[in-house]
Structure 1
Amino acid sequence: MRSFTTREVEPVENVSFSVSVGVNVPQDLGLHPVPADVVEIVPAYREYRYMVVEDQIVIVNPKTRKVVEVIEQGSTTASIGASQGSGSLSLSQEEETTVIKTLRSDVSGVFREGATMPQCVELRPIPSSVDVPELRSYRYVLVEDSVILVEPDSRRIVKILE
């Protein structure tokens, strides 16, 4: 997300913890406030802090020091599925639509083959009416006039049909 990458936050290299959701961030690592323009789009991030680890933006709950979201820089514009405590952030369909529309200028600029689909985007099963057996293990998302095929375990975009 551009708002994170335009800040002068030095990336941390060689951390002593696994960069993944639910892991505790050591107390000696500094956290930065989430940029206001990001909070406008994702109000749930208001109380969170972040750090940059190599090429990842790591969103952290400062009270628990637990990682709530990991955003791969350059993979997509943003990932909005931050966890809160033991549950996940719940966005209404309208909020998700607003966030996605706000964060992307066009499908090809944000959603591209090989990128990771944000956690907030609901992946739909391929309907049985689509008689293409090779697609049964994939999921899809409709974005404007494009069908985006996604590998559900990794959330990697495998094909964009426009």
Structure 2
Amino acid sequence: MKNYLIAAAAGFVLVAGIGAAVAEDVIVIAPEQQTVIREYVHKQKLASVSLLGVELNVGSPLPDTVELHTIDVPDVKYKYVVVQDRTVLVDPDTRRIVQVID
């Protein structure tokens, strides 16, 4: 019985650790920041690009051919691009999509 409890506890710790690691990858942009970003992008009037074969999902990488633009909004370290009329926030280091703002 003692071995079963130790194994169960070890499994729980492993699962909790995996959950914490996944939680670190989730980026949360506050609704207020989304509004400011949306207004900023609207004022820039950046042309929308079309990317065939690229899904706009969080974590998906964008090709190197896509030009990323700086967001002049406090506390936002990401860059953006407008794809199919949707604002896409991108981590400039990995070029992975962080959030899609409609």
Provide TM-score, normalisation by structure 2: 0.59
Larger Rg: 2
- Check conservation: 1:60, 1:66, Cα contact below 8 A: yes
Overall identity of the aligned pairs, in %: 31
Q: 1:50 aligns with which of 80, 86, 92?
A: 80
4+ long deviations beyond 2 Å: none
The DSSP-based 3-state class of the residue aligned with 1:6 is helix
Q: Which has the higher helix share?
A: 2
CA distance in 2, matches of 1:8, 1:55: 11
Deviation (angstroms), 1:6: 1.2
CA deviation vs aligned residue, 1:13-63 (integer Å, no higher than 9, x gap): 2433101110000000101001x2xx22xx1x2x21100011210000010
Q: 2:92 aligns with which of 62, 73, 89?
A: 62
The unaligned stretches of length 5 or more in structure 2 are 1-37
CA RMSD of aligned residues (A): 1.2
| Higher normalized contact order (CA 8 Å, seq sep 6+, divided by chain length) | 2
Q: 2:65 aligns with which of 9, 23, 28?
A: 28
In the comparison of the two structures, how many residue pairs are matched?
65
Quote the residue 2:21 is aligned against: none
